[in-house]
Structure 1
Amino acid sequence: MAKKPEFFEDQKAQSRVKSTIVVKYFKAWAKIMAGQVQGAKDPRLAYIDLFCGPGKYEDGAVSTPLLIVEHVIGTPELRDKVIAVFNDADKERTAELDQNVKALPGIETLTHQPMIRTGEVDDVLVQEFASINMVPAFSFIDPFGYKGVTLELVEALMKGWGSDMVLFFPFDRINAALTNPKVTKHVDGLFGKERADRLRELTSGMHPENREALIIEEFAEALRERGYTYIIPYVFEYEQRDRTSHYLIFVTKHPLGYNIMKSIMYKASEDKNQGIARFGYVRSQADKTPLLSLLNRPLDDLCDELLECFAGRTLTMEAIHREHQKALGINPFIEKNYKDALNMLDAANKIVTNKPNRRKGTFADDIVVTFPRKEKK
């Protein structure tokens, strides 16, 4: 029997964080989508993991595939709707996952038993997904490298309505691969050939921090060009080195999913500046990387922006949050940040509310806020 990769020997802290983010989002996504497809001609939902592993680490820790299936088993409204599709290139890992799945209590209650296949993620598999009518799907693409991960794969899995994705982006390995002629095909598939060629030229001799910012920015832009408006990159650094290892990149077409994932990533973020989470790349320069620079904006900036955006208007906190999020697109702010900013503005007498005597530190969704008009210059 082939030796398992070291990755499966014991679960590292970063793997726990990654799994927590994916599972929490699946739970929220599945609850919403189950209501959306209730009564539909085809009420199925899909969870897709194309680099699944065996489901457990050697230390006994349960990984994402089993946590997902356990949740489906334990949620009556999902048992007849969710199809879990697992794939791995290693037959020993898929055989072990099959055993682990079958051993789950209540597995027999599922209408759709998990589908477990063994094979490479290649052009044939991409075409297979591209050729079928996809039900709403949440996909977790977590390879050990980047082979098989292409823009075409993202498009094939995201083409259906209600479909979202979390994608593992091994920055350190991709950074090294840009100038390696042996893996040109894989890098071209990840960015698109024209963009990859431009990256190779632009990053030559570039400072490492700027190089990182540009690579992530270009990948995010490649996704946005395909209509995936809402993207969040969540950075992981090496445990023993102050250097980026990889990113989790969340991709969705809907602002609701975007806001849900931001809240999940916010709670999973250790580094916060004035309550604004560092779940994305924060050292980028605004003129070179406008998408990612929006992920490094402290609360003071939000206060100033609200005064500018809503000058002379009166509206509720809920409407402020909803309207501003829609206008900003990619950004790091969650609902709590808006309430904190409005409390700061209120304390500084820069806004007027209809409940000035509320409990300190609170700001309910229905509180009405009046912003001052812009001063004439």
Structure 2
Amino acid sequence: MTQDGSTERAGSSTDGFVSIGGQHRMPPPQDTLWRSQPRVLIKHQVYRHYLQCWMGKICRSFDQSSIVDAFSGPGQYLDGPDGSPLVISKTFLEHSAFSQFNTLRFICNEKRADRREHLTRKMKELPPSPKLKFHSAEPAGTADTFEVLDALAHGGSRKDIPTLWILDPFNLAGVPFELIQKCLRRSRDEVLITWFSDEIYRFCEDSSKANAMSSHFGGDHWKSALEHKGETARKEALLTAYQDGLRSLGVLTNAVSISSRNETARYSLVFATHDDRGLECFNPVKWRLDPVKGSTINENRGMQQGDLFSELPVVEELRAYLESLAGEAASFLSLVREAQRMGYLEKHLRTTLDELAVDGRAVRETPLKASTRWPAESVIRFYPPA
């Protein structure tokens, strides 16, 4: 719907993630439909905002593009909200640039036949468009049918069709690192993963789950996170370890977390791309959710959450990077690229450069004359503190 990404559900008895400390998690829903939860609607808002940008860039630039909703669900929740297939389809059909769009292949995968049938009925209720090519794969697990999904997304032998993989399983076992690696094997493919912070935090000290954890992380480098004490610090370290595994594949990655009452991450949405332009779409979503740190949104406050402490963004990491360039010069565009890879926006870079300029630590070297302080073609020289 994708699946609700709930951290209250367990895997099967064979996935290594059934219980911990004798406390069993809520089992997956057994009926065709189930009720939505706040975290679901927030996640779908992330999808909408990201897809608005992705579609605006990709669907106009390529004759064909694809989205694979790999854990699609029935397309609707019992209490009425759309599931992810409807969210994705409506974002495409209602996009302000729709008239300029080319063909979008939309492939959904759902392992239960009753939910697949319900999804097909819901999709038929949408306004028909020759630009939206919907296909529902035969019921099967995503890992088992990956090659089929990949062939559908890439038109058989074509490798140049940009594809966004949305991976939102019921449990950790649904997204082993090997699957992520396959999704990212083509240079124009991206992934958006629901990552279960709560479960991973609970399982990380259980020795019986170590092999399953390593399968999820793509190695045992996650164990270094155990050196961090406290729930917040350890969850952040585990997420960093997961992203380090993604970076080892040669991709760029960032994430936004959804928290609950205690303000620690309940789950995260992890994004990976081969191209800086992917971050140009994902980073603004993070800062829209969290104007202070660009990292976390509370599911109880929702998309319009108020800032807890300040309206000023926290940019210490970006400032420290710029200060480290003392004695060097850099083009503005290269600084924009590095800021994006750190998870910041261009406006954060401009503001921080303004602050450094006041202290004489950042000076525009070229051009000598410009209508703005930091034009795109500018070169900035950095100096140590006076």
* Structure 1 residue 371, shift from structure 2 partner: 4.2
In the superposition, relative to structure 1, how do residues 205 and 252 fare at CA in structure 2: closer, same or farther (>3 Å)? closer
Figure out how many residues of one structure are paired with residues of the other and give that number. 332
Distance 1:306 1:181 in 2: 42
In the superposition, relative to structure 1, how do residues 176 and 121 fare at CA in structure 2: closer, same or farther (>3 Å)? farther
* Structure 1 residue 90, shift from structure 2 partner: 2.7
Across the aligned residues of Structure 1 and Structure 2, the Cα RMSD in angstroms comes to 3.6
Q: Conserved in 1, the CA contact under 8 Å of 2:243 and 2:253? A: yes
1:109 alignment counterpart = 130
- The superposition leaves residues 219-243 of structure 1 with CA deviations (integer Å, 9 ceiling, x where unpaired) of 1111111111x111211112x3333
In the superposition, relative to structure 1, how do residues 117 and 183 fare at CA in structure 2: closer, same or farther (>3 Å)? farther
In the superposition, relative to structure 1, how do residues 329 and 367 fare at CA in structure 2: closer, same or farther (>3 Å)? closer
In the superposition, relative to structure 1, how do residues 57 and 141 fare at CA in structure 2: closer, same or farther (>3 Å)? same
Which of the residues 213, 216, 239 maps onto 1:216? 239
* Pairing of 1:187-336 with structure 2 (within 5 A): 187-192=213-218, 194-195=219-220, 199=222, 203=226, 207-228=230-251, 230-238=252-260, 240-269=261-290, 272=292, 276-279=293-296, 298-299=314-315, 302-303=318-319, 305-309=321-325, 311=327, 313=329, 319-320=331-332, 322-327=333-338, 330-336=341-347
- The superposition leaves residues 71-94 of structure 1 with CA deviations (integer Å, 9 ceiling, x where unpaired) of 33342343x521111112232222
TM-score between the two structures when normalised by the length of structure 1: 0.74
In the superposition, relative to structure 1, how do residues 35 and 103 fare at CA in structure 2: closer, same or farther (>3 Å)? closer
- The superposition leaves residues 235-288 of structure 1 with CA deviations (integer Å, 9 ceiling, x where unpaired) of 1112x3333211110101111111321112111215x1xxx52349xxxxxxxx
- Letter of the structure 2 residue corresponding to residue 82 of structure 1: L
Q: Conserved in 2, the CA contact under 8 Å of 1:94 and 1:118? A: yes
* Structure 1 residue 25, shift from structure 2 partner: 1.9
- Letter of the structure 1 residue corresponding to residue 92 of structure 2: V
* Pairing of 1:59-138 with structure 2 (within 5 A): 59-74=79-94, 75-78=98-101, 80-105=102-127, 107-110=128-131, 112-122=133-143, 124-128=144-148, 133=157, 134=159, 135-138=161-164
2:70 alignment counterpart = 50
Q: Conserved in 2, the CA contact under 8 Å of 1:23 and 1:67? A: yes
Q: Does 1:337 align with 2:352?
A: no
1:18 alignment counterpart = 43
Structure showing greater relative contact order (alpha-carbon pairs closer than 8 Å, 6 or more residues apart): 2
* Structure 1 residue 352, shift from structure 2 partner: 5.3
Distance 1:357 1:70 in 2: 43
Which of the residues 166, 170, 173 maps onto 1:140? 166
Which of the residues 31, 55, 69 maps onto 1:3? 31
- Letter of the structure 2 residue corresponding to residue 278 of structure 1: S
In the superposition, relative to structure 1, how do residues 243 and 329 fare at CA in structure 2: closer, same or farther (>3 Å)? closer
- The superposition leaves residues 315-355 of structure 1 with CA deviations (integer Å, 9 ceiling, x where unpaired) of 8xxx42x2124456741321110122233334556555689
Distance 1:28 1:312 in 2: 34
1:168 alignment counterpart = 194
* Structure 1 residue 178, shift from structure 2 partner: 3.8
In the superposition, relative to structure 1, how do residues 220 and 262 fare at CA in structure 2: closer, same or farther (>3 Å)? same
Q: Which runs of 5+ in 2 are unaligned?
A: 1-28, 298-312
Percent identical: 15
- The superposition leaves residues 282-321 of structure 1 with CA deviations (integer Å, 9 ceiling, x where unpaired) of xxxxxxxxxxxxxxx93355446435526574x8xxx42x
Query: Secondary structure of 2:73's match?
Result: coil
In the superposition, relative to structure 1, how do residues 375 and 171 fare at CA in structure 2: closer, same or farther (>3 Å)? closer
In the superposition, relative to structure 1, how do residues 363 and 53 fare at CA in structure 2: closer, same or farther (>3 Å)? farther
Q: Conserved in 2, the CA contact under 8 Å of 1:17 and 1:268? A: no
* Structure 1 residue 199, shift from structure 2 partner: 4.1
In the superposition, relative to structure 1, how do residues 298 and 46 fare at CA in structure 2: closer, same or farther (>3 Å)? same
- Letter of the structure 1 residue corresponding to residue 201 of structure 2: N
1:284 alignment counterpart = none
2:21 alignment counterpart = none
TM-score between the two structures when normalised by the length of structure 2: 0.72
Distance 1:103 1:20 in 2: 22
In the superposition, relative to structure 1, how do residues 160 and 30 fare at CA in structure 2: closer, same or farther (>3 Å)? farther
* Structure 1 residue 369, shift from structure 2 partner: 7.0
In the superposition, relative to structure 1, how do residues 330 and 10 fare at CA in structure 2: closer, same or farther (>3 Å)? same
In the superposition, relative to structure 1, how do residues 171 and 375 fare at CA in structure 2: closer, same or farther (>3 Å)? closer
Q: Which runs of 5+ in 1 are unaligned?
A: 38-42, 281-296
- Letter of the structure 2 residue corresponding to residue 333 of structure 1: Y
